[in-house]
Amino acid sequence: METLSNEFVMKGLSFLSTLFVTAIGIGVFIIVILFIIDVTQTKDAVRKNYPVLGRFRYLFSTLGEFFRQYFFAMDREEMPFNRAEREWIDRAAKNHDNTIAFGSTKSLTPAGTPIFVNCPFPTLDEDAVEMQALEIGPYCRQPYNAPSFFNISGMSYGALSTPAVRALSNGARMAGCWMNTGEGGLSPYHLEGGADIVMQIGTAKYGVRDKEGNLSDEKLKQVAMHEQVKMFELKMSQGAKPGKGGILPAVKVTAEIAAIRGIPEGEDSISPNRHLEIDSIDEMLDMISHIREVTGKPVGFKAVVGAFDWVETMCEEIHKRGIESAPDFFTIDSGDGGTGAAPMPLMDNVGLTVKESLPLVSDILHKYNLRDRIKIITSGKLVTPSEVAWAIASGADFVTSARGFMFSLGCIQALKCNKNTCPTGITTHNKHLQKGLNPADKAVKVANYCHNMVHEVQVISHSCGVSRPRLMGRKHIRIVQDSGKSIPMDVLYPRPDILPDYVEKTQKIA
């Protein structure tokens, strides 16, 4: 028996030895082949000068973006969203305790940092007022009483996967917020969850276009017939790519998506860089009025603000036409990027950030007595309670977020949204990768994120001494200056309708 056992061990060792030698031989063969390929190619200087070894440079560069967030980056230094922000969203989505200990890791000294001014006598819990609905579109046949100040921003079906849209739709219903379709048209999955829907109309008119690509009144009416569709948003530009249309690669244009959008299957879907029918304020207001008349529902527009004299021109034209001709809302997008695939120069350097454009637009609307008529919605990297509270205090009626809700779905910031290789199944149509995204489970996390966001914005407002967030104003915020000192935001951005002596005072301080 012992002899058989020894013989079995010897055979096993012999097999492993042969396997090891074979593996070494194959490895050497592969290295030789790679060496020959590298020294004979002429496209890559590093690989030619350092055959085989030069390939590791590409490997490390590719893996670097993943390693940084786990091993090297500090909590507050990553872009576009740092670890502290992502972890707050993750805890909020899981409904876990979101308190921290031992002090903040956020530096409050950089210029531009907002600091909320707490009241010595904060609002008691029993004196707090629950979030109140706000009417949009008073001159429409069907105005919308929007229940939540925090909502889901535009992300197209096509850019997002089926399970992601299902999760967002169900989560929005559970949270009592709206969901914007993005420019890709209205899909069955948007409606499936029962959420309030904002139908976005992009420059290619996806979902409401005729065969020639023009706006179709018949299809507008078909979309408007859905009771869930509460508003229409005319997209003039977006933060990821001001001045350039949407981009959906051919690999994502499936038969279903092609049918929803009204485009050919399997071809790149590239939208015009503006609406062909709109080349002036007059034409934009005409389009908004037309859509509102056809649908009977509130209609506004989305734009990134760069040049801003056109906003004043719009206000002047509205007064000529009559107050009912005004857009029902203005969605201000931030120029510092977004979920869409875009050229780096546009993503990085075109358009004002929302930190500058939101107060500016709000002030112009106040100047022309249109602030109550035109509701302000704002978006752009506003994913934490302090950012949302800042936007509301600065002049926004509503805040929308795309990437915040993507994080609540499980996004790990892999930066592969445009590659159809999203590892979490959110922005891919690869069925294997989609299996990891459970719509029922993620819908709960979407709702949790929204609920916790609203709650913590309310906490900030109570600390400032007001009973609800929309009662916050610029006087409740101070902005850190280059000197390290802070000044009141209502001094930095005085409203145009305030008293002259206050203007003189602010100019002296500035």
SS3 (DSSP) at 419 = coil
Do residues 375 and 395 lie in contact, with contact meaning Cβ atoms separated by under 8 Å?
Answer: no
Which pLDDT score, from 0 to 100, does residue 497 have? 53
At 325 the pLDDT is 96
What is the per-residue pLDDT for 484? Answer: 87
Q: What is the pLDDT of residue 331?
A: 96
Q: Assign 159 to helix, strand or coil.
A: coil
Q: Amino acid identity of 218?
A: E
What is the per-residue pLDDT for 505?
42
**In the prediction, which pLDDT does 5 show?**
62
Helix (H, G, I), strand (E, B) or coil at 301: strand
- The C-alpha atoms of residue 148 and residue 449 are separated, in whole angstroms, by 13
Whole-angstrom Cα Rg for the chain: 27
pLDDT at 295: 97
274 in Cβ contact with 303 (< 8 Å): no
492: how many CB neighbours lie within 10 A of its CB? Answer: 17
Token reading at 136: 């949009």
> Which of 187, 358, 203 lies closest to 260 in space, CA to CA?
187
Is the distance from CB of 465 to CB of 204 less than 8 angstroms?
no
Length of the chain: 510
* pLDDT of res. 316: 96
CA distances (Å), origin 71, targets 58, 65, 66, 119, 426: 19, 11, 9, 40, 24
Tokens for 352? 């004002």
Q: Can you tell me the distance from the alpha carbon of 238 to that of 354, in angstroms, rounded to the nearest whole number? A: 12
H runs (alpha helix) in 105-192: 162-175, 188-192
Per-residue pLDDT of the chain (510 residues; tens, 9 = 90+): 555 566 666 666 677 777 777 888 888 888 888 888 888 887 777 777 778 877 776 666 666 666 666 555 555 566 676 777 888 888 899 888 887 777 777 778 888 899 999 999 888 888 888 888 999 999 999 999 999 999 999 998 888 889 999 999 999 999 999 999 999 899 999 999 999 999 999 999 999 999 888 999 999 999 999 999 999 999 998 766 666 677 777 777 888 888 888 888 888 877 888 888 999 999 999 999 999 999 999 999 999 998 889 999 999 999 999 999 999 999 999 877 666 666 666 666 677 889 999 999 999 999 999 999 999 999 988 999 999 999 999 999 999 999 889 889 988 777 777 777 788 888 887 888 888 888 999 999 999 999 999 999 999 999 999 999 999 999 999 999 998 899 999 888 886 554 444 344 444 433
247-248-251 Cα angle (round to 5)? 145
Which residues are bridge partners to 115 per DSSP?
Answer: 478
Q: According to the model, what pLDDT value does residue 507 have?
A: 43
